[in-house]
Structure 1
Amino acid sequence: MMNLHVRAENTAEVVARFRARPFGWDSGGTCIHLARAQMRALGHKPPAIPRFYSAIGAMKALRGTGHATLEALLDSMLPRIAPAAMWVGDLALMDSGTDDPFDAIVVSTGQTGSGPIGGGQMVAGYHAEHLGSGIVNIIPLAFKGAWRL
């Protein structure tokens, strides 16, 4: 496993790239694209993401993997951890805050008052109130799950 310094550098590069990419079903600006880029940046080899152009197309693509939810998809690829145990670069799932059927995958940025490990982490991801501006920093109240990269 790579050291925390390298994880932080690689995560910062992915976050910077997606910070400039507005949300778009058809442009690779979704949380699953963010998650795949982060997995690759930390040395994983996730499968390619099929092209989709809408929430309906994204749901069909997800079901094509044999999973009904993003949570189940992440469980099939990565070890689940307690959200409070996240390191910089790990993935988490939270409520998207939208009416679409998906939760939001976010990346732990390691920015907290207590360092890269511990509760209350700041994460980066797409947020319903800022979809036109790329990913933003979020301090969620609760996570639905977290996964170690």
Structure 2
Amino acid sequence: MNLHDRATATQRVVDRFRVRPFGWATGGTCLHLARAQMRALKHRPPAIPRFRSALGARRALHAAGHADLAGLLDSMLPRIAPAAMWVGDLALMQGDGEFDAIVVSAGRLMAGYHSEALDRGVVNIEAHAFIGAWRL
């Protein structure tokens, strides 16, 4: 997929999640955002188990055999250096709570859920220290 098509597909996904407030039970999590982005860029990620809380999400992650979100992403995608990210790639940033946060590269900014704006949906986040990045 060329960069123009990646950017167009990424913008469609981000726009869809901008109006979806964060919600464990409503499909408004960074994991749902990441899965939608993977599908938009022609990957075939597994279905996300239903969960209704942070505890349920943690249990689902462990049931899938992963200790954390980095392990889950490592099992599906090639890890890259954060400086090598293209528009549409995924990154993991330090979260404020129990989980770190998966974000989508939207050029100079990242798009994702932010603890100070969970009721607004996905917002632009200034890129800073990454835990890891993955190529889509």
TM bin (shorter chain): over 0.9
Cα distance in 2 for residues equivalent to 1:61 and 1:48:
11
Figure out how many residues of one structure are paired with residues of the other and give that number.
136
Task: Determine the structure 1 residue equivalent to 2:117.
Answer: 130
- What is the CA-CA distance between 1:18 and the residue it aligns to? 0.3
Cα distance in 1 for residues equivalent to 2:57 and 2:133:
21
Normalising to structure 1: TM-score of the pair? 0.90
Cα distance in 2 for residues equivalent to 1:38 and 1:25:
18
Cα distance in 2 for residues equivalent to 1:131 and 1:53:
16
Task: Give the alignment of 1:1-80 within 5 angstroms.
Answer: 2-80=1-79
**What is the CA deviation profile of residues 3-35 of structure 1, one whole-angstrom value per residue up to 9, with x for unaligned ones?**
000000000000000000000000000000000
Q: Could you say what secondary structure the match of 1:129 adopts?
A: coil
Gaps of 5+ in 1: 113-121
- What is the CA-CA distance between 1:64 and the residue it aligns to? 1.1
Hey, which bits of structure 1, 4+ residues long, moved more than 3 A? none
**What is the CA deviation profile of residues 39-95 of structure 1, one whole-angstrom value per residue up to 9, with x for unaligned ones?**
000000000000000000000110111001000000010000000000000000001
Q: Which amino acid aligns with 1:50?
A: P
Q: Could you say what secondary structure the match of 2:25 adopts?
A: coil
More strand by share: 2
Cα distance in 2 for residues equivalent to 1:74 and 1:31:
12
Residue 105 of structure 2 is aligned to residue 108 of structure 1: yes
Correspondent of 2:127 among 125, 140, 143:
140
